Amino acid sequence: MAETKKKKETKTTQKVSPKEISGRITKTAENMVDQINKLQDPEFTTMQRGKSNVVWDEQKGYLELGEKEITRTFLNIAHARKFMQTALIMTKTQDYLNHNKTASIREIYYELKHTIEDTKENTFEGQDESDPIIVDLEHSVDTIREKLNLHANPKGTLYGNITLLDRMHHNDKFNASKLGRGGWSIMSRVEPEEIELTDTDAEYCLVVETEAIFERLIEEGFPKDNNCILIGTGGQAARGTRRLIHRVHNELDLPVYVFTDGDPYGWYIYSVIKQGSMALAAHSEFMSVPDAKYIGMTIEDIKDYKLEAVTEQMKEGDIKRAKEMMAYPWFQSKEWQSELKLALEQKLRIEQQALANKKLDFVATHYLPEKIKNKRFLP
């Protein structure tokens, strides 16, 4: 075994205990009670989200949430229902924290859903009503979902020579290259106090969009031959997967290379991993990897690898998306502007799996090694 890399301390989100978070929820509720008993309209304050309150910090290299706050009050016809829902989410998350339980955001939705007395109305009509309230609470008590003992559906896989320790499950210690071809399913909560990254001798972390390419690379022995770890996102990267990529990069000092389809959807997957998303701008600090590099697919690859016969036409949605992306402040680098421009000119997209057109193992034997060796990346 080669020398193991020295582990760095990762910047953990907050050193806060469940008890402290629970206390913040109590404080919020007590404020409301005080207001009500003084016959004042009770308030709930959280951060405004969405494009209007997202700031691109060029220095830090990721998206951040701005300073704008919103206050929700009960006596506002447009807020009343959400106010009620917020109170319910507060109660339930505190209950999880106090009893050391974790739940999926779908589970909390089902736990809280019931018909309101004397009405035909449900407390929540769908998960799309409870999910945003959860984010409201995260921001209001200044924490992340994971600290509220909530998690989304896990998605994403890890494979390669890296050893992990699961503190929440018998202190299991395992190497992600010894779990069969499937690798390790990345959990939605991968906080350092639960999952420890003990050591690795890998030289970099390769993130791939599609499961098919993930499996192809394992079948071809790519991680072993190239001494890297492999993370499959299966489309847009989930919170847990992004957190893990962030930790791998920061704690183990591994460069991160991202390999997606050559289309606006794939490029945005890269962008989210690198500089965060608008929806979770508040958490970019703990999730983004501003140093990440983009391998491909690029429109130039089409010419370079003679893939003209296996391109696809961009659809109307792709064109619209590409135009939007061109305008984002975090897509203003020369390289990305010219890539997007080229794509829009030719109206072409190219999938990762199109490389199979050369040969099934072409991606593992030629494409990736050449790109990485020659450092042919987009920033």
Partner 1 sequence: MSKLAEEKAPKTKKSDETGSEIIHGAAEKLEGQFKEHSVAEFFKKNKQMLGMYGKVRTLTMIIHEYVTNSIDACEAVGILPTIDVKIDELGEEYYEVTVTDNGPGISKENVGKAFGKLLAGTKFHRMIQSRGQQGIGASGCTMLSQMTTGKPVKVITGKAQGKAISLEMTIDPRHNEPKITDLKELDKEFHGTAVQAKFKGILYRDSDQGPLEYLKRTAIANPHTQISFRDPMGQKFTFKRTHNEMPELPEEIKPHPKGVTVDDIISMSKVTKGRSVSGFLSNDFDRMGAKGIEEVKKRVKFDMSKDPKQLAWDEAEEIIKAFKDIAFIAPTTDALRPITEEQIKNSLQSIVKPDFLTVMTRKPTVYKGGFPFQVEIAIAYGGGAGRKIAEETHMEIMRFANRVPLLFDQGTCALTKAVQTIDWKRYDIKDIENTPVTVFVNFISVHIPYTGAGKQAIADEDEVLEEIRLALMQTGRKAGVYISHKKREAENQLKRLMFYKYIPEIARALNVITKADENKLKVNLEKMVMQKLKLEEAKDQEELKKAQDTLASDGNSVIVDKSDKKNLKRGSKGDNVSEKKKE
Closest to partner 1 by CB, 63 or 88: 88
In the chain the first and final C-alpha atoms are separated, in Å, by 32
Q: How far apart are CA 207 and CA 229, in angstroms?
A: 9
Tokens 């962030």 locate to 246
| 3-class SS of residue 159 | strand
On whether the CB atoms of residues 337 and 326 are closer than 8 A, the answer is yes
Active site residues: 110
Is the CB of 33 or the CB of 55 nearer to partner 1? Answer: 33
Minimum CB–partner distance for residue 127 and partner 1 (Å): 18
| Smaller CB separation from partner 1, 90 or 280 | 90
* CA atoms of 18 and 99, how far apart (whole Å): 10
Pairing of strands 157-159, 184-185: antiparallel
Dist CA 362 CA 142 (whole Å)? 47
Here the contacts of 81-85 (C-beta below 8 Å, separation 24 or greater) are: 82/133, 83/42, 83/44, 84/123, 85/123, 85/124, 85/129, 85/130, 85/133
Distance of CA 218 to the CA centre of its chain: 23
CB of 139 to partner 1, least distance (A): 18
Of 379, 376, 307, the residue nearest 348 (C-alpha): 307
CB 256 within 8 Å of CB 207: yes
For partner 1, which is the closer residue by CB, 37 or 171?
Answer: 37
Among 142, 350, 163, smallest CA distance to 265 is for 350
- With a CB cutoff of 8 Å and minimum separation 6, the contacts of 222 are 228, 230, 364, 368
Least distance (Å) between residue 166 CB and partner 1: 32
Residues lying near partner 1 in the complex (CB under 8 A)? 25-26, 29-30, 32-33, 36-37, 39, 41, 74-75, 77, 80-81, 83-84, 87-88, 90-91, 94-95, 116-119, 121, 123
Closest approach, Cβ 128 to partner 1, in A, equals 19
- CB of 41 vs partner 1, minimal distance in Å: 7
Q: How far is the CB of 87 from partner 1 (least distance, A)?
A: 4
Whether residue 89 contacts residue 44, with contact meaning beta carbons closer than 8 Å, is answered with: no
Q: Which of 286, 307, 293, 304 is nearest to 356 (CA)?
A: 307
SS3 171: coil
Nearest distance, CB of residue 121 and partner 1, angstroms: 7
Q: For every residue of 171-237, which 3-state class applies, written as one string? A: CEEEECCCCCCCCEECCCCCCCCCEEEEEECCCEEEEECCHHHHHHHHHCCHHHHHCEEEEECCCCC
Q: Which two tokens stand for residue 90?
A: 């507060």
